[in-house]
Amino acid sequence: MASGGYRPAMGVEQHLATSVATNGVPGQKTELQVGTDFPIVCETCLGPNPYVRMIKCRFGEKLCKVSNVPMQSFRWKAGPHGRFKETIVCREVAVEKNICQACLSDMTFGVPVGVRDALLRAGGAPEHGGYAEALSNANQAHYYGQRRAEIDQGGALGSAQRMEPSRELLSLARQIESANAKAGTAFRNLPKICSFWMAGTCTRVSKGTCPFRPCCGLFKFPELARNHRDECAALVEDLKANGPEKAMATCPVEVRQMIKDALGGNKEEAIRNRASGRDTDTQVYINRSKEQKKIEKPADQSVTTLWVGATEGVTEADLVDAFYSYGELKAVRLANNCAFVEFADRESAERAADAKYRNLVIKGNSLPLDWARPRGGPSQKRDADEVGLPGVLPGQQAPALRPELAAAFGLEAQQGAAGPPQKKARRPPHAPYPSMDPNRLGSRPPGAPPPGPPRRG
């Protein structure tokens, strides 16, 4: 792990290492065995309750949604106001991909697995294997049977756990953790929506005994928040103002249909798409990351220099190796913990900036990249015609100054002057107060010579 890294959660490797081995043989646990006696789940899915009652179902009662093999499933309630959750993938899939068995998010960074794989590749990590999906049932049973045997022997950890994270992956992990901390109850732990309330026939909403949304008092709708923000805000405002019982009768039909469309679809196919990174949430995160990777180009076309920060331990040869393929380099200068890479033309500098912005990795470290400022500072880029009076646009005629204001400031009033008013000639100094007159009260007679130096006794 690089210095300054970020690991918000414990990965599968740490989960498997929490139990004690018997006779020095890895995998032979004396305590609870992770994946067999306790699921591999993230802290968000466990919920805020520190005393979780974990229900262990009968082995083979459910099949893995990804591998289609019998698995050990678990069921629990995610917090006092959360929903009942259960594992949907087997232990072998969770260990191989380093994901939670309930939400299929990465166990180390808390991001969707498809986003993690895409950002790891963007950070310079190579493609990691072991993700090929077996098509037939026989191949799936054979493949995951081998994985199960390797896990029991203490191996078979996914290669994704040993890769260095990129800058975008760490930033996204911080954003998701901050959003979960502010939201209180995570979206994936919220109670399900009451189907009777959706149909307008819930009889328990008036008694306050319905445990589902929004009858229970939780007015959060992640089904609408992403694609229909205005409708979601209007529904939440109506619920807060009138309560769930009255809002059940006044909820628009269009909003009910939007919620039904968001909850519809093939659940098993959605789970497989999420595990392989083909779901909608993954694409939204990836597109957002691509938009953030665009660097703003300076308007001055003469700027052909890029600024590189955090260059401690970086040499000129390292910078040349990173940028020479984008065009002819004019100069490479190292300064105080930063560097300046100057190209011979603007096109080469733009190609290098677009390719290396938030993607510059030298000696395993991610370095910040930006356009360098022009020499002389930004103030010298402005022309003299652009500098005018405050509140007056460049090229606009300045308003006329009133005569009384001009007299008060000692300026000449100019009617429709295009520039700042000219100052009047300064008057000679005078004594405006009588007490400031040196000849007052006989201090010196008129016409008397100035006093000489004092005599010494």
**Percentage, residues of the chain above pLDDT 70:** 66
53 shares its domain with 90: yes
pLDDT for 320: 92
* Range of the structural domain that residue 59 is part of: 12-183
Domains of the chain: total: 3
Bridge partners for 308 per DSSP: 339, 369
Average pLDDT of span 238-248: 92
Indicate whether 195 and 300 sit together in one domain: no
User: Average pLDDT, whole number, for the chain?
Assistant: 75
Same domain, 298 and 354: yes
Tell whether 449 is covered by a domain. no
Same domain, 40 and 170: yes
Tell me the C-alpha distance between 16 and 36, whole Å: 11
Indicate if the pLDDT at residue 305 is higher than 90. Answer: yes
The alpha-carbon radius of gyration of the chain (Å, integer) is 36
pLDDT at 238: 92
pTM, 2 dp? 0.57
Predicted confidence at residue 36, as pLDDT, reads 83
The neighbouring-strand residues paired with 26 are none
Both 227 and 206 in a single domain?
Answer: yes
CB 66 within 8 A of CB 134: no
8 A C-beta contact, residue 175 and residue 8 = no
Out of 91-95, 132-136, 218-222, 379-383, least confident range: 379-383
- Residues 283-291 have a mean pLDDT of 73
Residues 6+ apart with CB under 8 A from 417: 397, 398, 400
The pLDDT confidence band at residue 34, using thresholds 50, 70 and 90, is confident
Looking at 362, 378, 394, which one is the last position of a domain?
378
